[in-house]
Chains A and B, each alone.
Chain A
Amino acid sequence: MKIKAYMQRFEQQGLFFKLFIVMVVSIIAVCLLTSLVTIRMSERLFTETFSITNSKVLNQIKTSMESLNDSIVNAVSHASQNGTVKNYLAGGDGDSISAGATYFSMGQQMKQIKSNVDAYDVGVTMVGVNGRSYTSDWSYWPVDTSDLADSMITKHTVDQPRRLMYQYDEETAKDGKENYIIASKALMERTSDFLYGTIYVAIREDQFKRFYSNFTSTGNDVLILDSNGRIVSSNQDKLIGTFSPQLLKDVTEMQEQQMSYKNADVMGKNHIILSNYIPEYDFYLVNLIDRQYAVGQIINVRDIALICIAIVAAALLTVFLISRRLTQSLTRLVRQMSTITEKDFGNYVNVTGSYEVQELSRAFNYMLDELNDYIARLLETQKEQRNAELAALQRQINPHFLYNTLASIKMLVQKGNKETAAETINALISLLQNTISNVSETITIEQELENMKNYVFINHVRYGGKVQVNYFVSPDCMDYHVPKLIIQPFIENAFFHAFNEKGAGVIYIMVSRQDDMLVCEVVDNGDGMDGFSDSAEGSRLPNPKSKRQLFTGIGVQNVHNRITLLYGEQYGVSISSKKGQGTKVKVTLPLILEPMSDDMS
């Protein structure tokens, strides 16, 4: 029972829930989609902007690196064209004085050569074929100059003596490992191509780093890649000296296709790669932007999520309130309307709620008005139809009755019973007079009694007095109006059907007032019938197929219908009967003092 009530409740709220859930899903979907699209767009915009600004930054770094290269080129060409240097590196040992002089002037030259690169913190080292070396700062690049001649750096340099090349080197100094980028060039006698030494310009990696360290930040890394794929410099110290062939592949591909940027996985993370080739160094200047981190920086997922949640919550609250109001008035309307099914067309709904609901209520009320109007008119029409039918029946006085009555009068006249004949004719006249008039007119009980007496008299004349009729009419009932020919059909019924076996008996006609009703009873002590219980709730109607009456043709069934039609269901005819004991017909009518004003003409 409870579950049923709950289900009913749920059903009633169904519309609201459906509406609300659709709204929830829509709002969340819109919010998510909008956020996603926005994030996507800003990501792309960010990437574009970032690649443009960072390309400029890369160009700037490149320019600074080129100016270092220019300085180094100046220093190297200064050294390679210098006789003192050549003398120092290629000449033989003399005595202390000449050696001292050579060393001294080499020192002076070194200062001049070094002055070319003084803007940078670099170390210049020269090694000659005679085994001599000269270093501007021995601690800067603590390499053993005697081993240097056999090093890969020197080998590469000597292989391409006309080229200034940059190579990676690492030295283990007292205070840990230090990374270098070594610019080296063979010193060559122009005329004979004799290589008399090598000049090395050592640049500490942290010096190199200064070119770009201002531009780097978390997620925005710069690294410099040589043509072997070795990372020679980076703001990420742990990467220095490592090889990254994949990155080299990426940047060479970018260079070939002239891509401004590329998205690729580097070191297990998705990066935006920007690169710039620096031909002087044969290095690639690479900028790696950690996509996830960088995007995470500009797009605050937490804030977006919070804003989304706030908007969704606010929208849902609004939607909840509005749809709740909407559906509530609808629900109320529906509840009110549902009472119509209980055959109560007078149940008008309250015009409240939203505009639509109000319109609907108005329309519904209008419809009820119309419906009630139509029902009233239908009832009226039915009543009229019945009246017309009755009138038609009433006006057809059964010819047999007239024929028989007239035959009886002829007999009386022939027998010479003139008085009885005259009385009979009077009774017939009176009867016809009362009968052949407006069928819906009411007459007083007194007049009806008169009619009944006339009718009984005529019947006595025709069939003899075997059936006695006694009247018991309460005097205070005499002035109440009843429809014409209400009781007559029952008397006729009793006359011609109640005494077929017994042959003689008595009919009692009793009219009295009970509560607010007028009760007319026709009781006989004749044969009686089966199938009519004596109980009050017993079948009220006699055999529906009752024969047409001899006098007017108005049957018992018609009487009942007429009463209920005129006065309502609470009035009507009830019959109780028992075989061998007689029949009792009870007609209940309202108390009417005025003649019924019927518009029937």
Chain B
Amino acid sequence: MKKLMFLLLASVLLLSACSSGGGSASSGSDASAKEITIWAWDKNFNIAALELAKEKYMKSHPDVKINLVENAQADIVQKLNTGLNSGTTKGLPNVVLIEDYRSQNFLQAYPDSFVDMSDKIKASDFADYKAGPTSYEGKQYGIPFDSGVTGLFVRTDYLKQAGYTPEDLQNITWDQYIEIGKKVKAATGKDMLTQDPNDLGLIRAMIQSAGSWYLKEDGTTPNIANNAALKKALETYKAMYDANIVKANSDWSQFLAAFNSGDVASVPTGNWITPSIKAEASQSGKWAAVPIPVLSDVPNSVHASNIGGSSWYVMNVDGKDTAADFMASTFGSDKDLYQEMLDKVGVLSTFKAASEGSAYDKADEFFSGQKIYADFAKWTTEVPKVNYGLHTYAIEDIMTVELQNYLNGSKDVDTMMNDVQTQAEAQLK
């Protein structure tokens, strides 16, 4: 009797303990969801710019929640590819930063996954060269962000030793640059520039200055053989090596070290190097920025080009309206925000109106009072527009290898270009 009662009691207790938790409700598709996520790389540059935009936007839209997620660029590319390939939008951000060289790759493969921003922003508000990478089939997808506009940073003190002033380097050709380099090396023992043989940024800058690219206008056909601008660029590149004015480096830190330690006399690269040059405070007053040289004998080559740079893309996932509104009202139109970004983060934007602001008009003591941002802003508008197409990096990988054969003299330039063309056509079919 007692046993039975115990059993009964125990079973009642057990049963009452087995209570189940409720399931969570899943939210359906909601274009105007108030929580958005943004992916970007580089905490000190892109994320910092985002923070400013977020702060400003939140003042007028306190109900929106914006999550900023930092990922390495390679991770973002991989995650995007994985997510888009799988056909599910789960886990993808609302806004993602994509490097201009890669953007077409995504836009052409997955145009439906990105939000057409044509009616939210005006492409003409931004530097013209940005239109190529950020649009597809006449639709403006990307919100152009930073400018990769190039300049030639030079050490005025070394030039002086070789008998040059910065004025002598305004609007020169690459051939003239090499001549100056030889004299500088003779006078100071310093190399004129430093190059990572695995990174052909300088060649990209040279050909874009002539409005040419590795790929034809369609963005898919390799444009190597018989590309006059490329041929001239390669010849110029080899001429630099032949002149023995190139210091080799293997990575970013060695690249920085090369000019921070005073081993090279000039740095032809994107404006984004400015903070790194200024990082070596002891060299204040010894630097100047001049326009990038043009390719000799290439008629349409201009003193403006681009290396790197990226743009924002709104993805077609829940909350896309909120994300599009956020991007359009900040990066898409806010001149003052860009002033602030330049001032606080050092972002040189491609937003044309921004260059009229006071931050751009500031003289920089490091560069002996040169208004370098105004100069860069001016050059930005002059960057020739090219279509980076789908295969920039794939072709560059082939080119990097073949270039060595050219540099060490085992192939002449035409053979090398034809070989690259053949390999690229075979590989990119």
Contact = CB atoms under 8 A, between A and B. Distances in A.
Contacts of A314: 5-6, 9
Interface string B79-102: 000000000000000000000000
Contact of B244 (A95, A145, A174, A311): A95
A102 B241 CA distance: 13
A99 B247 contact: yes
Interface stretch (B30-38, B129-137, B250-258, B298-306): B250-258
Contact of A104 (B13, B17, B400): B400
A590 interface: no
B404 A145 contact: no
A211 to B, nearest CB: 20
A100 B248 contact: yes
Interface in B221-269: 240-254
Contacts of A101: 197, 404, 407-408
Given A310-B13, A311-B9, A97 B408 contact: yes
A133 interface: yes
Given A96-B246, A175-B43, A314-B5, A104 B404 contact: yes
B116 interface: no
B262 to A, nearest CB: 15
Q: Which size class do A's interface residues fall under?
A: 20 to 34
Interface stretch (A135-143, A392-400, A475-483): A135-143
Contact of B197 (A95, A103, A133): A103
Contacts of B245: 96
A96 B251 contact: no
Interface in B187-229: 191, 195-198
Contact of B241 (A100, A105, A311, A318): A100
A103 B248 CA distance: 7
Contacts of B58: none
Interface string A130-166: 0001110111001001000000000000000000000
- Most chain B beta-carbon neighbours within 10 Å: one of A107, A108, A310, A311: A107
Interface string B1-12: 010011001100
A170 B10 CA distance: 56
B124 interface: no
A31 to B, nearest CB: 11
Contact of B10 (A97, A137, A307): A307
B402 to A, nearest CB: 11
A103 B246 CA distance: 12
Where chain B touches its partner, the secondary structure class is helix
Contact of B9 (A96, A142, A310): A310
B24 interface: no
A139 B45 CA distance: 15
Size range of the interface on B? 20 to 34
A139 B252 contact: yes
Nearest to B74: A137
Interface centre among A95, A96, A303, A306, by most chain B C-beta atoms within 10 angstroms, is: A96
A100 to B, nearest CB: 5
Contacts of B241: 96-97, 100
B282 interface: no
Nearest to B196: A103
A491 B43 CA distance: 146
A527 to B, nearest CB: 86
Contacts of A110: 250
Main secondary structure of the interface of A (DSSP, over half): helix
B44 interface: yes
A306 B13 contact: yes
Interface string A382-424: 0000000000000000000000000000000000000000000
Contacts of A318: 2, 5
A239 to B, nearest CB: 25
B401 to A, nearest CB: 8
Contact of B251 (A95, A138, A306): A138
Nearest to B8: A314
B5 A142 contact: no
Contacts of B254: 133, 138
Given A103-B197, A138-B252, A138-B253, A97 B9 contact: no
Given A306-B13, A307-B13, A314-B9, A100 B246 contact: yes
A135 B408 CA distance: 24
Contacts of B243: 96
Given A107-B197, A135-B253, A99 B44 contact: no
Interface in A56-112: 95-97, 99-108, 110
A103 B2 contact: no
A311 B9 CA distance: 7
Contacts of B240: 96
Contacts of B401: 108
A97 B196 contact: no
B197 A100 contact: yes
A175 B196 CA distance: 26
Contacts of A99: 246-248
A102 B248 CA distance: 9
B250 A107 contact: yes
Contacts of B408: 97, 101
Nearest to B243: A96
Given A96-B240, A103-B249, A145-B253, A311 B6 contact: yes
Interface of B: 2, 5-6, 9-10, 13, 17, 43-44, 191, 195-198, 240-254, 400-401, 404, 407-408
Interchain residue pairs A-B with the least CB separation, the first 10: A104-B197, A103-B248, A96-B246, A138-B253, A107-B198, A138-B251, A99-B248, A95-B244, A96-B241, A96-B244
Given A96-B247, A103-B249, A145-B253, 17 more contacts: A96-B240, A96-B248, A99-B246, A100-B246, A103-B196, A103-B248, A104-B197, A104-B400, A104-B404, A107-B198, A107-B250, A133-B250, A134-B251, A303-B17, A314-B6, A318-B2, A318-B5
23 contacts: A96-B242, A97-B242, A100-B195, A100-B241, A100-B246, A100-B404, A101-B197, A101-B404, A101-B407, A101-B408, A103-B248, A104-B197, A104-B400, A104-B404, A106-B250, A134-B251, A138-B252, A145-B253, A303-B17, A307-B10, A310-B9, A310-B13, A314-B6
Interface of A: 95-97, 99-108, 110, 133-135, 137-139, 142, 145, 174-175, 303, 306-307, 310-311, 314-315, 318
